[in-house]
Structure 1
């Protein structure tokens, strides 16, 4: 628990520093870099939450969770490629794609985190408290 609290604090501080840095971005390259960093931060948090959920899952559930995560990654990537297709070849495309990836990754992390907060007796929740 202490490790998760420390990790959360580090992410909060780094997200705050990133927000300050990105708030001062003025060129498309800087905006693209900020969007990529935001996606990387979201992906790192998702990976930690996924690992925690995977460890909590029973053995048969682990295979199902892994399959679901792989399918979600394919869907996320396809959706964001489609979203970015309107700016194909433009300097703004990396920012658009990375913003999409970050948004969908934050949503998935929240979903997985919610599965680890289920109340006892909730049969629709696959991970026991």
Structure 2
């Protein structure tokens, strides 16, 4: 339960940041560029969190995590293609798709990060707790 609260909080905080960062853009091209950069930054963060979770996972879990991540990527891409389909061919489509990709990526990163916070004895959490210093 704690993991899901952390993931939800991270998603809510990042959604506001998405709007703020592109507030100074004045053309659709600038908005498209800004939202694409936001997506790239969040994707980089997700990849770092994924790698950390992958390293923490036991060998049999690594294959399952990789399978889950690849399935999530396919779902994210399909969802965002659908979301952007309403603006097919329009200059706003890249921004709509980038925003969707960013939001879903932030959500996934928060979920994976929450798995890194497993507490001893939490059987619903697949990763072993971090070692205390």
TM-score for the superposition, normalised by structure 1: 0.84
Cα drift, residue 119 of structure 1 = 1.0
Which residue number corresponds to residue 108 of structure 1? 108
Answer 1 or 2: higher relative contact order, Cα 8 Å, separation at least 6: 2
Runs of 4+ in 1 over 2 A off after TM superposition: none
Deviations 1:17-75 (A, max 9, x none): x92xx221000000000110000000000000000000000000000000000000000
**Structure 2 unmatched runs, 5+:** 1-16
Q: Partners in 2 of 1:23 and 1:80 — Cα distance?
A: 22
Which residue number corresponds to residue 56 of structure 2? 56
Q: Partners in 1 of 2:56 and 2:99 — Cα distance?
A: 30
CA RMSD of aligned residues (A): 1.2
The alignment of Structure 1 onto Structure 2 pairs a total of residues equal to 111
Cα drift, residue 118 of structure 1 = 1.1
Q: Partners in 2 of 1:124 and 1:110 — Cα distance?
A: 17
Which residue number corresponds to residue 79 of structure 1? 79
TM-score for the superposition, normalised by structure 2: 0.81
Q: Partners in 1 of 2:55 and 2:119 — Cα distance?
A: 18
Q: Partners in 2 of 1:41 and 1:86 — Cα distance?
A: 26
Deviations 1:69-119 (A, max 9, x none): 000000000000000000000000000000000000000000000000011
Which residue number corresponds to residue 40 of structure 1? 40
